[in-house]
Amino acid sequence: MAARILDGKKLAETVRAEVREGVAAFKAKYGRAPGLEVVLVGDDPASQVYTRNKEKASNEVGMQGRLHVLPASTPEDEVLALVERLNADDNVDGILVQLPLPKSINEQRVLDAVDPAKDVDGFHPVNAGLLAAGRPRLVPCTPLGCMRLLALAEVPLKGARAVVVGRSNIVGKPVAQLLLAEHATVTIAHSRTKDLAAVCREADVLVAAVGKAELVRGDFVKPGAVVIDVGINRVDAGNGKTKLVGDVAYAEAAEIASAITPVPGGVGPMTIAYLLQNTLTAAHARAAR
Ligand code: NDP
């Protein structure tokens, strides 16, 4: 039987509608809109699209979204000065520095400079530490999106075997911690894992966040498992064009899984939706203190 398709595009609309309502309530209570500042350094075409989409999405839900575009030659000090200015601005609730930054800039130094209370990407070590300590505050957006997709799948997580392939700070580690908080038994696999297929076949819930096109094959999937594919890989479509595929061989896995996210239209749209949710969360936390 073919797997249920977990429609992230549709679910993201639901999340955005929830945020829109939350923003209206926030405005009514505090007399201002939550503010999201997106910082882009350089002219990477993909980053230009992502940051424009983030600015647009935030304004669509009634927030005060603003994009700062700095030339690739901007010295690190100037980027840090902008972050400091946004940290000090009381009308700013969320600060997002688009990655990757130009090679001349120390990415970690810039991310560490963001006020943890405004760190809507959840990348600051303070927020990473709070999540690891079981006291989540601002949690990375993509992992939050994965958890909401699992809720849509109605998969019981308590006691389930979960395997996360990938251990990045942005996706793999935080999603593993969120699964652990839901009482799943979690294995984190990575590039040095031996017999990845056998490890994955243990999983009731399989999350792939690798960045390798269709690495996870159909025979990695336990019959009836729920598969969340975080990967976004552009590959040759054979006709002189390119297409997007995930880290999972979708057609094969969909034959065996009970539910699966497509690429595109799965985890991707959920990430921006949870950026908006995180901005609202940050705004409430700041307004209440
Ligand atoms: P990283 O490159 O930071 O991490 C990849 C992880 O995969 C690493 O932990 C690496 O292991 C592991 N890995 C690499 N090769 C293998 C292999 N052959 N077998 C097992 N594990 C392997 O990537 P990200 O976590 O940032 O992103 C992962 C994917 O998710 C990418 O395709 C990215 O584009 C996508 N993504 C999608 C988002 C969305 O909104 N949908 C948001 C963010 C990312 P090791 O640590 O040992 O090197």
Tens digits of residue pLDDT in 211-251: 999 999 999 999 999 999 999 999 999 999 999 999 999 99
By the 8 A CB rule, do 197 and 218 touch?
no
Q: Is the CB of 158 under 6 A from ligand 1?
A: no
Model confidence at 1: pLDDT above 90: no
At 94, give phi and psi (nearest 5°).
-130, 135
Instruction: Decide if 64 is catalytic.
Output: no
Range of the domain at 169: 141-268
Question: DSSP letter at 91?
Answer: T
Q: How many CB atoms lie within 10 A of CB 237?
A: 11
Residue to mutate, 51, 210, 233, ligand 1, most ligand atoms under 8 Å from C-beta: 210
Instruction: Determine, yes or no, domain membership for 226.
Output: yes
219 is catalytic: no
Ligand 1 centroid distance, CA of 86 (Å): 30
264 and 161 belong to one structural domain = yes
Q: What is the per-residue pLDDT for 63?
A: 98
Compute the average pLDDT of residues 42-59: 96
Pairing of strands 233-236, 242-245: antiparallel
| Amino acid found at 207 | V
* Of 213, 168, 204, 170, residue with least CA distance to 189: 168
Tell me if 263 is assigned to some domain: yes
158 alpha carbon to ligand 1 midpoint, in Å?
Answer: 25
Provide the whole-model pTM.
0.97
Return the ligand 1 atom nearest residue 210 CA.
Answer: 7
Cβ burial of 130 (10 Å; 0-12, 13-18, 19+) is: middle
Q: Whose CA is nearest to atom 16 of ligand 1?
A: 191
CATH of the domain at 46: 3.40.50.10860
Rounded Cα gap, residues 186 and 165, in angstroms: 11
Determine if ligand 1 sits within 6 Å of the CB of residue 230: yes
Domain membership flag for residue 283: no
Catalytic annotation present for 121: yes
Domain count of the fold of the chain: 2
Residue 287 lies in a domain: no
Do residue 88 and residue 165 come from a single domain? no
Nearest ligand 1 atom to alpha carbon 171: 25
The catalytic residue among 121, 204, 229, 247 is: 121
- Specify burial of residue 220 (Cβ count, 10 A radius: 0-12, 13-18, 19+): buried
Q: Whose CA is nearest to atom 24 of ligand 1?
A: 168
- Which residue puts its alpha carbon closest to atom 3 of ligand 1? 168
Q: What is the pLDDT of residue 289?
A: 87
Nearest-CA residue for ligand 1 atom 22 is: 191
- Percent of the chain surpassing pLDDT 70: 100
Give the pLDDT confidence score for residue 217 in this predicted structure. 98
CB atoms within 10 A of CB 69: 16
- Rounded Cα–Cα distance for residues 64 and 37 (Å): 8
Question: pLDDT-based confidence at 14, cuts 50/70/90?
Answer: very high
In a domain? residue 256: yes
- For residue range 146-172, what is the model confidence (pLDDT) as tens digits? 999 999 999 999 999 999 999 999 999
Sign of torsion, CA 14 17 23 28?
A: negative
Give the mutation target among 144, 191, 235 for probing the ligand 1 site: most ligand atoms within 8 A of CB: 191
Annotated binding site for NADP(+): 166-168, 232
CA pair distance 58, 20, nearest whole angstrom: 9
Ligand 1 binding pocket includes 174 (Cβ within 6 Å)? no
With respect to residue 7, please indicate whether it lies within any of the assigned structural domains: no
3-state helix, strand, coil in the chain (%, to 5): 45, 20, 40
Ligand 1 pocket: which of 232, 247, 271 to mutate (most atoms <8 Å of CB)? 232
Query: Residues 159, 231: one domain?
Result: yes
